[in-house]
Structure 1
Amino acid sequence: MLGPLLRLLSACGGVWPTSPAPGAAASSSASSGDDSEGRDGLLWWRDLARCHAGDVSVAVAQANQVLEDQCRLDSAPSIGTVVGVFDGHGGPDAARFACDHLVPNLREASSGPRGVTADAIREAFLATEEGFLALVSSLWEAQPDIATAGTCCLVGVVHNRTLFVANLGDSRAVLGKKAGRAGQIAAEQLSSEHNANQEAVRQELMAQHPDDAQIVALKHGVWRVRGLIQVGV
C-alpha cells in the first residue's frame, strides 16, 4: 500500500512556503513549468512538481486577514520525506515557529543509530513546544499577545519504507487508495483528532490539570480548552 506513496514522496525535495515572496505579482493562472505558482485573490498554489513516480502540488486558501497557516516539505536521506501542515490559531506566530523548528528538531532527535522512530518524532514535538514557550517568555514584556497564539501540527514522515503520522490538535491525515476492481479511490483516516468536544479528550485534559477545574469550558455549545492566561475567554 505504501510503495507508490513512498516512491512519489521520496523523490521530492526542498521546502515549500505557503505564501508567495513579498512583492510577488498576483496572477489569475499559473505559468507553465514544474516550478510555476500563481495567486487568485486569497487562493495561492504551486503547480505540479514532477517526481519519478508521480506529482506533488500545494494549494492554500487564506481564511484570515493574516495568513496563519504554514506547510513544509523536506526530503533528506537522514529523515526521509517529511510533510508538515501547521494550522495557526490566534495569529501566525506559533505556526511559523513550528514550521521553522520541527524538522530541525526531528533531525536532531533522529541523529542516533535508530534514526527516525515514533519516540524521535515525539521528542521533536516536545522540543518544538519547549522552544516556543521559551520564545513566549522572552517576548512577554514586549509582545504579550504571542502567548495567545497556538497551532495544530500534522506531520507525515516516510522513512525506510515506513509511514509515520503525528498529530497534535484538531487535524486529520487521510490516505487515498484504490479499492476494488473498478479502481475507485477510498479514503482511510490515519490519525485521530485531539478535540475537546470528545469526552475522552476532556477527561485527559482534566487529569493533566487537576488544579484547574475549568481547564475545559463549554462556550456557545462548543467545548474549548481554556488557556491559563485567558481567564475571561
Structure 2
Amino acid sequence: MFSWLGRTALACLAPVRRYVRMNKDEEADDALFWSQDNGEHSAGGCAVRSCRDIGEHSAGEFSFAVVQANERIEDHSQVETGPMGTFVGVYDGHGGPEAARFIADHLFLHFIRIARESGTVSEDIIRNAFSATEDGFLALVRRTRQLKPSMATVGSCCLVGVIWRGTLYVANLGDSRAVIGCLSRSNSIIAEQLTRDHNASMEEVRHELRSLHPDDPQIVVMKHGVWRIKGIIQISRSIGDAYLKRPEIKVDSSFPRFQLSEPLRRSVLSAEPAVYSRVLNPQDKFVIFASDGLWEQLTNQQAVEIVSKFPRPGIARRLVRSALDVAAKKREMRYSDLKKLEKGIRRFFHDDITVIVVFIDHGSMLLEPNTSVPELSVRAFIDASGISEFSALEGLVTATGTSSV
C-alpha cells in the first residue's frame, strides 16, 4: 500500500518538478543543463553561450547569443523556424528561472494550437497565446506554492516576434525590446523601436498606473532612487508575479522583500501584451530582439549601426561583446578585468543579456512554403536543435488586427 501511494505521489509531482526544484535538485539540474550546451563561445572568457552564430529562417537568416551575469541564468529564449514562418521569443525572468522556462515550454505551442483552431495568424491569436500561458503559469503557482513558496514571486518579461507571409507581429510584456533597422532615403541605417518599455521608470507608465489605480497613492513610489510599483518591482506587465496579481496568493513571511504594506485588493500588474504588426517593406533590413541587459548599455541607434556594419555570422555575439565593453567602461574597468568576475558578482556590473538578430531578405518572403528552410526549434544553451511545429500552420491565412503599443 505504501509503495503504491509513493509511486502515485511521484507521478503527480513529475510534471511540476521541471519548474519546482529544491536545493540539491536545483544544483544537479543546473549541472546537467550546462553540460548539454555545445555552443559555448569565448567572448574573452565572458561565457557567451551562443546557440547559433548564423541560421536560416523563412525570411532570411538569424543570429543568437546569450551571456550570463546572475548566479543562475534567468533568461530563456527560442527561435522556431519553418517553411511558412518564424517565431522568436526572449523571456527575461526575475525572482528565479521558472517563469521564463515555463514560457519557453508553452507559449509557442499555445500559439500554434490557437492559430490552427482559428485558421489564421493575427494579433488576437498572439494575445490569446499570452493569456493561455499566463493562466497556465498561475495555475502552476497555485499547485506548487506549498512545496516552494517563492513561486508566488517568480515572473518574467516576454517579448515575441512572428514573421508570417510578409507580416511582422511583435508582442511585449515588460522591458525587453524589439528594434528594427531600416534604410533611410539617404541609404543610412536608422533605428525604429517597435515596442514600448513597460517600466515604472517611464513617466507614461507611471501615469498609466496612477490612472488605473486612483485610490492607491502607493501604486508607484520612489525607492532607493528607482521608481517601483508598490515599492517592489519596476516592470508593469509580466507573466507570473502572482502575488501582485491575485489577492488570494500571499507571500510567505520568510520573503520580507516581497511583503506589501497592505493586503492586495486587485491586480497591480498586467499580463495583457502590447501587440504591433506591420507589412515588411524592402527598407526593413533586420530586427533586434533583446532583453533589457543589452539596452541598458547600448542605444537603439548604436545597436543597429553595429549590425549594419559587420558580417552576419556571429553578429549577436558582437552586440553582446559591445554591451560588455560599455559596461566595463562605466565602471572605469578594462574588459579583460570584467571577464574575470564570477557569475553573481558580475550581476553588479551588467545583467544577463539575450540577443536575437533576425535578418529580413525580401526575396525569401514567399506566399508559398519555402521548402528549403529547415523546420528547427532552437532553445538557448542547447545547440542541438529539434523539429519545430511550424509546419502545422501550412495553409492558414493572414489576418491583421488593430495595432497597439
Q: How far did 1:47 drift? A: 2.1
Aligned-partner residue type, residue 219 of structure 2: I
SS of residue in 1 equivalent to 2:103: helix
Aligned-partner residue type, residue 145 of structure 2: W
Match of 2:152 in 1: 147
Q: RMSD between aligned alpha carbons?
A: 2.7
SS of residue in 1 equivalent to 2:78: strand
Write the distance in 2 (CA, Å) between the matches of 1:129 and 1:215.
22
Write the distance in 2 (CA, Å) between the matches of 1:164 and 1:185.
21
Q: How far did 1:210 drift? A: 6.1
Q: How far did 1:184 drift? A: 2.9
Aligned-partner residue type, residue 190 of structure 1: L
SS of residue in 1 equivalent to 2:139: helix
> Are the counterparts in 1 of residues 219 and 229 from structure 2 also a CA contact under 8 Å?
yes
The C-alpha deviation readout for 1:178-228, integer Å capped at 9, x for no partner, is 2344x4322111111111122332343345456755333321121122354
Match of 1:101 in 2: 106
With CA pairs under 8 Å and 6+ residues apart, which has the higher RCO, 1 or 2? 2
Write the distance in 2 (CA, Å) between the matches of 1:189 and 1:25.
32
Q: How far did 1:84 drift? A: 0.5
Higher mean C-alpha deviation, range 196-205 or range 58-67: 196-205
Match of 1:231 in 2: 259
1:56 and 2:62 correspond: yes
Higher mean C-alpha deviation, range 198-207 or range 172-181: 198-207
Write the distance in 1 (CA, Å) between the matches of 2:164 and 2:79.
14
Q: How far did 1:24 drift? A: 4.8
Distance 1:231 1:210, change over 3 A: farther
The C-alpha deviation readout for 1:161-192, integer Å capped at 9, x for no partner, is 111110101121001122344x4322111111
Match of 2:48 in 1: 43
Aligned-partner residue type, residue 39 of structure 1: H
Distance 1:171 1:23, change over 3 A: closer
Match of 1:188 in 2: 192
The C-alpha deviation readout for 1:136-182, integer Å capped at 9, x for no partner, is 1111100111111111101011112111110101121001122344x
Task: Please list every run of 5 or more consecutive structure 2 residues that lacks an aligned counterpart in the other structure.
Answer: 1-31, 231-242, 245-250, 252-257, 262-405
SS of residue in 1 equivalent to 2:113: helix
Task: Report 1:34-183 matches (<5 A).
Answer: 37-40=39-42, 41-45=46-50, 46-50=52-56, 54-76=60-82, 80-181=85-186, 183=187
Distance 1:121 1:168, change over 3 A: same
Write the distance in 2 (CA, Å) between the matches of 1:155 and 1:195.
17
Match of 1:220 in 2: 224
Write the distance in 2 (CA, Å) between the matches of 1:77 and 1:150.
33
TM-score (norm 1): 0.76
Higher mean C-alpha deviation, range 194-203 or range 98-107: 194-203
Aligned length: 203
Distance 1:136 1:207, change over 3 A: farther
Write the distance in 2 (CA, Å) between the matches of 1:176 and 1:185.
6
Write the distance in 2 (CA, Å) between the matches of 1:140 and 1:169.
24
Write the distance in 1 (CA, Å) between the matches of 2:57 and 2:107.
25
Q: How far did 1:106 drift? A: 0.9
Write the distance in 1 (CA, Å) between the matches of 2:220 and 2:147.
29
> Are the counterparts in 1 of residues 57 and 82 from structure 2 also a CA contact under 8 Å?
no
Q: Work out which of the residue numbers 13, 23, 29 in structure 1 matches 2:35.
A: 23
SS of residue in 2 equivalent to 1:100: helix
Percent identity over paired residues: 48
Write the distance in 2 (CA, Å) between the matches of 1:137 and 1:25.
32
Write the distance in 1 (CA, Å) between the matches of 2:57 and 2:113.
27
Aligned-partner residue type, residue 56 of structure 1: F
SS of residue in 2 equivalent to 1:110: helix
Match of 1:14 in 2: none
